[in-house]
Every structure is written in structure tokens, then in C-alpha cells.
Amino acid sequence: MVTVRALLGLILLGYFGLALGYALATPRWNNPDEPAHFNYIREIAESGRLPVIGSGDWDAELLERLKTARFPDDAAIREIRYEAHQPPLYYLLAAPLYHLSGAFGLSAQILALKGLSVLLGALVVVATFVAAHLIFSDRPAIAVLAAATAAFIPMHTAISAAINNDSLANALAAVTVAALAFGLRRGFDDRATVALGMLLGALLLTKLTVYLYVPLAVGALLWAERQRLHAHKPVSPMTVWRRPLLALAVAAAVAAWWFVRNALTYGWTDPLAAMRHDEIVVGQPRWERFDMAAGDYLLRVLFRSFWGQFGWMGVVLDERLYLLYLVVTLLGLGGLLLLLYERIRPSPGPGHAASSALSARGEPGQRLAVGLLVAATMLAIGQVLAYNSRFIQPQGRYLFPALAPISLLLSLGWWRLAHLTAQRRQDPSTGHRLLFALGAGLGALDLVCLLVFVAPAFR
């Protein structure tokens, strides 16, 4: 019998093969913002200093010209530096690779840096599996399917084979989800709280899109402390807040220097360097008005580019594939709605017993963990919509900070429908076969995207 770990190993093997394929099939600089990320790494490696974003770092006309030409090998990209405002952790990790591979030429440097992203993408897959196993410990099929989903969403595989700080941000976000799931199911002690604080500090030093996990972590710690102290006499609010404040203090010790540096560089009103960035990137497309047509465009492109819209959003899939991904997504959401309905209006019978078995172990912690997944997903969607209120940037990869929660929730919905089908057929193995076919199908579709759409587009 194939074990859960063996299935995870097969998923990782498939992921590595596909990610390597995307890395080789996509020419240099043909991933979103790749030249700007590369120049950030180069600045640190060659000068030993963090870059400062300024006028001249953004040239909309040059960028459009190079994107249209698919970045020829002799493209001059040194002046593309508009990512210089980003937090530095990814670039600090990548700079030694830039140095070590430099003796072998630019192509080797690019491949080495893409390889770092591939490894970080694998960490997303493993952390998603661990989080699912902790939350749904009695349903290993959910953990396997969640890992397969994170591994085989084509856009995630492609972004994980590119030079960008998304790879580290997504990895740290997934690890944070796993850490919070662990604490909610088994409790936080001081050592775990300090470790969580260090993880939050790393998030703060990586990318603004993952800052959403800071309030979620504080909420999880507060809930855990309330549960731990529930059996005791009434305690002061400071007692309940001790571990949340400890985690925040550790995070501040790790990351505060970055915000002080930004304040000294860009002004005390701009510790995130976001205002300076917005001043520099003039010419980015903005909505003239937001009406029904604009909303339709936003949601349609956001959905498509979540699953697969490659390069600088210029390589699209066949409409039938997007329709298939829409059906798969709606099935997952339908399964979640069914579980919610069964939770709100329980009814006796084997169907309800099976679905409520998800909460059989440590029910309060599991319920809050699922709530955490929903909250992370909604916050990620909210910040993408907020960003698109200023700029026209409906890129699905901006949802990937919540890739682990999204993969878990979709897999939970698919599991419920597969289990329902197995019940109706009175064959328990039917559900497992359906879930295995879905996971394998996602991997096969990822391969189709690579071989049929991405590779030919760049030949």
C-alpha cells in the first residue's frame, strides 16, 4: 500500500521536474519583474549596500519595449530597478548564490537564482502538507491533495521557477500557517512563541503581501492563551497578552531596523517605502472609472492568472482549460458550502457523521484553524482588491501568500464531495480514487501548460 509520505515524495518529484521545465523553458527576464529583482540582488552582491529607489529606476516605455520583444539576450536591463523598495531578506539570501555562480557566467547565475526559488516553492508544498496533516490529522487524503494542489497550480510552479521575492514570501507564509496550525492544535509554549516571533520578523523583512499573518498570529496566540487559562481563576488582560506581546517583541527585534532605515532614507512618514515607490512608478495603468466592465475584467484576469497566465501576463491558455479550472474551483467551493450547511443544520445519519468526523479530535482548535484558513484567504483577496483600487494589476500570483490556506480549503471541499460520492456508491475506495485522480489530473494539466503553451511561446 502506498503511504502518505510516499505520495508526498511523488508530488515533490513531479513538482521539481515541472519547475525545472519552467525554469529552462522561460528565457531570462521573461517572468514578471525579474530584471528588477535581479538588479536588487546584484546591487547587494557587488556593492555590499541595500539599494535606494529613486527617479530613473522606472522607465515604462523601455519596459514595454523589452516585454514586447520578449527581452532579447542583449537587452540592457541595468536601469530597471523599481523593486529597490522591497524588504531585503530574499535578496540577502540570494546574493551569495550570485557570487558563487558568477564565475560561470550570467546564464549560470540566472539558473542558480531560479533554483533557489524552486527550493522555496518545494517548501510551500511541504508546509502545506504539514499544516493540513495537523488540522485534519484523521483525514490524510486532504493533506496529500492539498500538497498536490500547491505543487501543481501552473502559475505557482512557474513563479517558483523565477527570480523574485514571491518565492520566499510564499514559503514563509506557508510555514507560518503550519506553525499556527501546530499551536492551535497542540498549544504554544514560550519557545514556540519565540520561534513564531522570529518567523513573523522574517515575514516583515520579506514582502508587504505577507504582513497579513501578523494580526492572524496575534489572534491565534490570544485564543490559545485564553484556552490555556480557561480552567484557572480570572486573570488580568496582561496575562492573556503575555505571549502575543512576546511574539511581537521578537518580531520587532528581528525587523525593526528595516523600518528605521526606511524612515531615515525616505522620511518618517514612509517606513514601508510605499509612498516613494508610488511616486517613482508613474505611468502604471490606473482605472479611469470602475464600472461593471472593469469589475468583470478584474475578476476574470485575476482568476485566469491565478491558475496560469505566464510571462509578463502575455502567455494565456486555451479558453477550455480556464473553463476546466473554473469547474474544479467551483466543485471545491461547493464542497465547502456543503460542509458549512452540515455544520449549521446537522442531521442524524451516516453522511453527517462522516463530515463531522473532521472535528473529532481537538474540535475547538480545529475549528479555529479552519477559521484561520478562511481569514488568511479573505485578507489576501482584500489586499489584492485594495491594490487594484489604485493600479490595474489583477495578477493571481498576488493571492499566493494565501496559497496554503487556499489549497487546504479547496482540498477540504473536494474531499467532502468525494466522500459523498463514495457513500452513495457504498464503496469507500471510490472517494480515494477520485481524489487521487484529481491530484494526478492537476499535475497532468500543469505539464500540458508547460509543454503546449509556455515552451512554444518562447521558442
Which CA distances in Å does 104 have to 23, 25, 112, 153, 280?
18, 20, 10, 32, 34
pLDDT value, residue 342: 86
**What is the Cα–Cα distance from 198 to 86, expressed in whole angstroms?**
19
What is the residue extent of each domain of the chain? 4-281+299-348+372-457
**Interacting residues of 112 by C-beta distance below 8 A, sequence separation 6+:** 97, 98, 100, 101
Q: Encode the chain (459 residues) as per-residue pLDDT tens digits.
A: 468 999 999 999 999 999 999 999 999 999 999 999 999 999 999 999 999 999 889 988 899 999 999 999 888 899 999 999 999 999 999 999 999 999 999 999 999 999 999 999 999 999 999 999 999 988 999 999 999 999 999 999 999 999 999 999 999 999 999 999 999 988 899 999 999 999 999 999 999 999 999 999 999 999 888 777 665 556 666 778 889 999 999 999 999 999 999 999 999 999 999 999 988 988 778 888 888 888 899 999 999 999 999 999 999 999 999 999 999 999 999 999 999 888 887 665 554 544 554 544 446 778 889 999 999 999 999 999 999 988 888 999 999 999 999 999 999 999 999 999 988 888 888 888 999 999 999 999 999 999 999 999 998
Supply the pTM of this predicted model. Answer: 0.94
Rounded-to-5 percentages of helix, strand, coil across the chain: 75, 0, 25
pLDDT value, residue 289: 81
> Do residues 22 and 114 touch, judged by C-beta distance below 8 A?
no
The upper half-sphere exposure of residue 137, i.e. CA atoms within 13 Å in the direction of its Cβ, equals 14
pLDDT value, residue 349: 54
pLDDT value, residue 366: 85
pLDDT value, residue 439: 97
> Do residues 420 and 351 touch, judged by C-beta distance below 8 A?
yes
Residue pointed to by grid coordinates 518545494 = 122
Which CA distances in Å does 169 have to 30, 210, 360?
20, 6, 33
**Interacting residues of 11 by C-beta distance below 8 A, sequence separation 6+:** 125, 144, 147, 148, 151, 152, 439, 443
pLDDT value, residue 361: 44
**What is the Cα–Cα distance from 383 to 194, expressed in whole angstroms?**
27
pLDDT value, residue 427: 81
**What is the Cα–Cα distance from 164 to 154, expressed in whole angstroms?**
17
pLDDT value, residue 101: 95
128-178: pLDDT as tens digits: 999 999 999 889 999 999 999 999 999 999 999 999 999 999 999 999 999
pLDDT value, residue 299: 94
Kind plus residue range of the DSSP H or E element containing 18: helix 4-25
**Interacting residues of 273 by C-beta distance below 8 A, sequence separation 6+:** 53, 85, 262, 265, 266
Phi/psi class of residue 188: alpha, beta or left (left: φ > 0; alpha: ψ in -120 to 50)? Answer: beta
**Phi, psi at 178, each rounded to 5°:** -65, -40
pLDDT value, residue 362: 44
Report DSSP state, residue 102. Answer: G
362-374: pLDDT as tens digits: 467 788 899 999 9
